[in-house]
Amino acid sequence: MKAKEENTQCIKAEAKRLGFMSCGVSKASFLEEEAPRLEKWLNQNMHGEMGYMENHFDKRLDPTKLVEGSKSVISLLLNYFPAETQGEGTYKISKYAYGTDYHFVIKDKLKELLQFIQTEIGDVYGRAFVDSAPVLDKAWAAKSGLGWIGKHSNLLTQKVGSFYFIAELIVDLELDYDTPVSDHCGSCTACIDACPTQAIVGPYVVDGSKCISYATIELKDQIPDSFSNKMDDWMFGCDICQDVCPWNRFSKPHREPLFNPHPELLSNSKKEWEEITKEVFNEIFRKSAVKRTKFEGLKRNIQFLKKE
């Protein structure tokens, strides 16, 4: 086994080669500060109908309960900021869902990184996570020094803003640990002021059940009337709190061809979206995260927006 420092540098260099924007490492231990925060958020029902958020409370806070013998959490960021966005005057889709579903893209890269670690370093056991298990991605990324959690509850960095995915490898290998960076939100309240549904109920606290992303993706029933005239033409997800964040003026376009959008996604008018058929939906969103809401869900969202 090589020295901790050498292993850590080796892993970070490979992560960069695989296209990750940045890589940070923290000790796999109980997230003490997050525990009361998560408990309070759940008790106040800010997760709405996202029942899965209540499951595996202990695993969410302690990676050693998720991956036996784990010693390190390797956090990774992958840029998804598009070079070109949808035009004005159409129904909008969150930028993260423009291209191929990020779960597949990142999972492949993580598998490759884990394989590299096992080849280069030795008998290392680990698991890859992309939004797919009870892991508090943002908390780990912040702990690993990759940024700070902003008032809109997204991870922020001074150099590139917040338009990136967060993923982890949890491994049973001791590494050199990074230290958190300081919060640079200051007195800015741009995200809080801009949210049309007042989902950011206070600095760093988002009521998920009031969020446009929740209404258009997670909610399986009809969208409540409380969202009427507040959806700002978002038919899948919402980027408002990120779009207005001053740090996102530093966002640079990604270099991942798989995240490039289907041409119709950028050019379709409201009328074309309103008349979308299942065949067209399957063609445009064949490998997209939009499939999560299904054709019926997208139609429901469009119908709700049409009434506004």
Residue in 131, 172, 183, 243 annotated catalytic: 131
Examine the residue annotation and report whether 131 is marked as an active-site residue of this protein.
yes
Q: Residue 211, class by beta-carbon neighbours within 10 Å (0-12 exposed, 13-18 middle, 19+ buried)?
A: buried
CA distance 168 to 61: 14
Q: Residue 23, class by beta-carbon neighbours within 10 Å (0-12 exposed, 13-18 middle, 19+ buried)?
A: buried
CA distance 236 to 238: 7
Going by C-beta distance under 8 Å and a sequence separation of 6 or more, which residues neighbour residue 296?
none
CA distance 179 to 145: 5
Nearest in space to 270 (alpha carbons), one of 307, 306, 216, 231: 306
Question: 109-146 burial by CB neighbour count: b if 16+ within 10 A, else e?
Answer: bbeebbebbeeebeebebbbbbeeebbbbbbbbbbbbb
CA distance 225 to 131: 30
Q: Which two tokens stand for residue 228?
A: 């009427």
Catalytic residues: 131
